[in-house]
Amino acid sequence: MKSIGFALLLSLTLSFSQATVVSRDTTNLSDDDNLGKGKELQSARGLKSGKSKQAKQPKQPKQPKPQEGFEMGMTKEIEGLWVGEEKFKDSDSEIYNYCSRALFNPTNEKNFLTWNAAYGSCEELNADALNGSINGTWFPSFDPSESYILQIHEKKCLNTEYCDYNVKSSGDFKGYQVTNKACGTHLKVDIINDNSYSCELYQMNLLKKDDEYKLVVILTYSSYEDGFDNYVCPQRPTFNTEDLLNDAVAEGVAQFVFQVGFDDQWNNITAWDCA
């Protein structure tokens, strides 16, 4: 997966009862005769069965079932627009750097994720995720082939033992202190590419410096095929290159800074699902 702006919101049987057909010659019947004859045939079918047939009730669609330990939906804390660094590992274990944006959109409980990526670091592309400022060269650098639309299907909170990544180890958040963390898992389906699914682990980090708060998420993702039953997930959320290389399942990692949300609850940890 390779996926600032401040206004990106995507809003992105009946069963018929089968009646026996009675063949009849209506060539020489008038319209009134046809109508009367039709009523006689309907009446005869009703008398033969002993009661008139009633239309069957439409079947209710089956509700999707989550995997064991999961719930349907997307976690509250991941909602919003995010920008930051991404590292992708190809099949030869080569690492590629991207400056990416991701919009986790809960509108109408559709839970869509749109992801766009531009090759190169955010510094090279003049995108400052921490301060929320960009240069116009970043958006034109987005690679159309690195654009994704996914739908988040299921969620699960992670145990604290998997929530131990030191977000300050990148050196990008000097002077900030981590006040709260939350970790979880999402299972997603690719809306554009057939038979493509992914598992994403995240570690949410609420940072504070003086009276200023920043929200930083660490993401690690993997992909799989043939449905949610076959899901495989990375070992843990990380942005460390060595961790990415040593995890046979992980395909990419990201360090994103929150830009704008769908409400004002982004730093309210009591509203988070996995705090």
CA-based nearest residue to 236, from 249, 226, 225, 255: 249
pLDDT at site 2: 46
Tens of pLDDT along the chain (275 residues)? 544 443 333 333 333 333 333 333 434 444 444 444 443 433 333 333 344 445 555 554 455 789 999 999 999 999 999 999 999 999 999 999 999 999 999 999 999 999 999 999 999 999 999 999 877 788 889 999 889 999 999 999 999 999 999 999 999 999 999 999 999 999 999 999 999 999 999 999 999 999 999 999 999 999 999 999 999 999 999 999 999 999 999 999 999 999 999 999 899 999 999 98
pLDDT of residue 189: 97
Locate the domains of the chain by residue range: 71-271
pTM, 2 dp? 0.77
